[in-house]
Amino acid sequence: MFKREKKNKIVEDGYTTATIHYHWCSVKERDCKKAVRVEENIELPSYRFAHLCVNQTVATTSSGSYSRLWVQFSFERQSGFYMLQIFVPATLVVFISWVSFWINRESAPSRTVIGTMTILSETHLLTGTNRRLPPVSYIKAVDVYLGFCYLIVSLALIEYACVAYATKKHNDQAKKFKKTEEIHAKQQQPRLPAPDLLRVFQFLLFNLIYWIILLSLAGWLNTAAQDAEDEIC
């Protein structure tokens, strides 16, 4: 959960500090943070109000020194919206792409449709998420997660293309060398191949590493922001 801070300045350059000096309520009389009242029933869809900090400064310009007040609002990002709208759907699409591995390799239309639809779904999630977020020049954490999910569903479709080619080549060789029905039946026995289990393990391992790093960075950033805010306030 990351923090966002909004700093508002009350600027008055009409009178210098020799004429007027602004200040918040005295600390001896009451808490300075009570100088700004925040309505408790106001809610934001993506953020939760954490706290605020007030202070006064003196700005020096070519025309003189001026007293200024500022108030800083701190907000914590609501993670529930992003979990339900981005991360959970992206994970489910990856699981759906694995369904094609249990479909008969001869059912080309079914496996192709599943692979194509999962790629389109991940593309829609990736573009829709970036459309809702402000444009930046660096890679975001959500881009890493959605990009990895997009890579998985793309590899699933590419893997089926390789399997279809290998199956066709195998069938051509079987007809050429006239293999016995016993060998053919043995090859067609249903089983859960080891690569399927490895695929699931790799995705779970990625999620474990991703969330550990993300939460660690979030905690470090929140601690650094809190320390900087304590120094100012």
The fraction of the chain above a pLDDT of 70, given in percent, is 73
Determine the Cα–Cα distance for residues 230 and 233; give it in Å rounded to an integer. 5
Query: Domain ends where: 37, 55, 77?
Result: 77
Question: Alpha carbon of 70 to those of 33, 76, 168, 181, 188: distances in Å?
Answer: 12, 20, 72, 84, 74
Q: Are 81 and 89 in contact (CB under 8 A)?
A: no
The CATH number of residue 164's host domain is 1.20.58.390
Contacts of 175 (CB under 8 A, 6+ apart): none
Give the tens place of pLDDT for each residue, 178-198: 555 544 544 554 444 555 677
71-96 pLDDT per residue, tens: 777 777 777 778 888 899 999 999 99
Q: Range of 46's domain?
A: 3-77
Q: Are residues 73 and 88 in the same domain?
A: no
Residue 37's pLDDT band (cuts 50, 70, 90): confident
Does residue 91 form part of some domain?
yes
In a domain, 198, yes or no: no
**231 located within any domain:** no
Cα R_g (the chain), whole angstroms: 30
- Same domain assignment for residues 85 and 143: yes
Task: Answer whether residue 203 is part of any domain.
Answer: no
Dihedral sign from CA coordinates of 31, 32, 33, 37: positive
User: What pLDDT, in 10s, does the model give residues 123-159?
Assistant: 999 999 888 888 888 888 899 999 999 999 998 888 8
Structural contact between residues 36 and 52, judged by C-beta atoms closer than 8 angstroms: yes
Q: Do residues 65 and 164 both lie within one domain?
A: no
Do 56 and 92 lie in one domain? The reply is: no
Q: Answer whether residue 99 shows pLDDT above 60.
A: yes
Regarding whether 90 and 185 lie in a shared domain, the answer is: yes
For residue 4, give the nearest of 47, 54, 55, 40 by alpha carbon. 47
Pair 58, 88 in one domain:
no
Q: What is the mean pLDDT of the chain?
A: 76
Q: At residue 118, does pLDDT exceed 70?
A: yes
User: What is the rounded CA–CA span in Å between residue 167 and residue 205?
Assistant: 31
- Rounded Cα–Cα distance for residues 159 and 118 (Å): 14
DSSP 8-state secondary structure symbol assigned to residue 136:
-
Contacts of 221 (CB under 8 A, 6+ apart): 2, 3
User: Does residue 68 sit in the same domain as residue 147?
Assistant: no
Separation of alpha carbons 119 and 126, rounded Å: 11
Report the number of distinct structural domains present in the chain.
2
Asked if 84 and 181 sit in the same domain, the reply is yes
- 55 in a domain, yes or no? yes
Pick from 57-66, 166-175, 220-229 the range whose average pLDDT is largest: 57-66
Within a domain: residue 228?
A: no
185 in the same domain as 85: yes
Does some domain include residue 135?
Answer: yes
Q: Give bridge partners of residue 73 from the DSSP assignment.
A: 6, 52
Q: What is the pLDDT of residue 29?
A: 46
Domain end call among 51, 77, 103 = 77
Whether residues 28 and 88 fall in one domain: no
Phi, psi dihedral angles at 76 (to 5 degrees): -110, 130
